[in-house]
Amino acid sequence: MGLLTIGVFAKASRLSPKALRLYDELGLLTPARVDPVTGYRLYAPEQLEQARLVAWLRRLGMPLARIQHVRTLDAAAAAQEVRAFWAQVEADTAARRDLATLLIDHLSRKDPAMSPTAKPLEIRYAALSDTGLVRESNQDTVHAGSRLFAVADGYGRQGAPASAAAVDALKRLETDSIPADNLLNVLEDTIEQAKQAVYGIAGNGPSDEEAGTTLTAMLWTGSQLALVHIGDSRVYLLRDGELFQITHDHTMVQSMVDEGRLSPEEAASHPQRSLLIRALGQGADTTTDMSLHDAQQDDRYLLCSDGLSTVVPAQDIRRVLAEISEPEQAVRELIILANASGGPDNTSCVVADVMEL
């Protein structure tokens, strides 16, 4: 079979002539020959497979630059790249879903003081932070109050003041009266203030020294908990005896798990498991996750830095939360478990119980 005209090739590949011309200009799908007189593009039949791959990838919504990369790979590597791309799409969709939930509540002006249950609820809580057995200083900052619970894990030479600055910026949420219809805007403004506070700390250090912090916080509104999260500190929920992790780690290793490049078991021992891809700090991706959670009586929440979650198995965390009723004793036992596992990092915990008023 001879060369195909652009019209015939467009029909066979399910790409429009306009798209084929664009892909030629971008070097994505170059014609086998261009007529020197008419300028008509001619394609070889064996180019159909590549063209159809481009068409399918475009239907997935893959950017042209990434399609160009996929075209250079063998079949197995190309499949892995498509898997990674779609995992990222699903992660982005989940993040937008959480934001949509917040927007729905915001626009409907839902009153957070009105509990969906028949009984009014309150929170009892305890917090504790420990340097651990290896680190010389504690760069974590922990806060627990009547409305706000927060854990921040600083990094770099200015990590301790960076984590403290981020949490301090949130503390006004303890006392400020926040109308239901303005909750989303207040949270966003407060996170921006936390970013600027951390930038100010980082700017005071050496120019080549990275400094920043993770930040995971929950704001109690009376029947709901508004969650703000960036980094690899975590929030767990113990409900009806089952333990759920309700935050997603913003680490390189977790992104590789999401993309199917690593198993959770491989991630647990990966040498770069603490490498952050999102944090509050100069040069970092500072996009935070925000979500709203309906509280139920007898719920128990745990906020913790990665000094706990990286060394203490989830089943041991669940056992402590399920068996020890007093928050003060629970946080102490969690710190003991982290140190019994070597205490390689600072460890901070907040335990918050939802109770009948």
pLDDT in tens, 132-168: 999 999 999 999 999 999 999 999 999 999 999 999 9
Whether 114 has a pLDDT exceeding 50, the answer reads no
Q: How many CB atoms are closer than 10 A to CB 83?
A: 13
Q: Which residue has the tokens 């970013």?
A: 195
The SS3 assignment for 40 reads coil
What average pLDDT does range 84-113 have in this prediction? 71
The amino acid at 276: L
Report the range of poorest mean pLDDT among 1-10, 172-181, 221-230.
172-181
The SS3 assignment for 356 reads strand
- Which structure tokens are listed for 94? 């989940």
Q: How confident is the model at residue 115 (pLDDT cuts 50, 70, 90)?
A: very low
Task: Answer yes or no: are the C-beta atoms of 31 and 24 closer than 8 Å.
Answer: yes
DSSP states of 50-62: HHHHHHHHHHHT-
Residue 116: per-residue pLDDT: 47
Residue 255: per-residue pLDDT: 86
Task: Answer yes or no: are the C-beta atoms of 216 and 233 closer than 8 Å.
Answer: yes
Whether 176 has a pLDDT exceeding 70, the answer reads no
CA nearest neighbour of 168 among 131, 143, 204: 143
User: Which residues fall within 8 angstroms of residue 56, CB to CB, at 6 or more apart?
Assistant: none
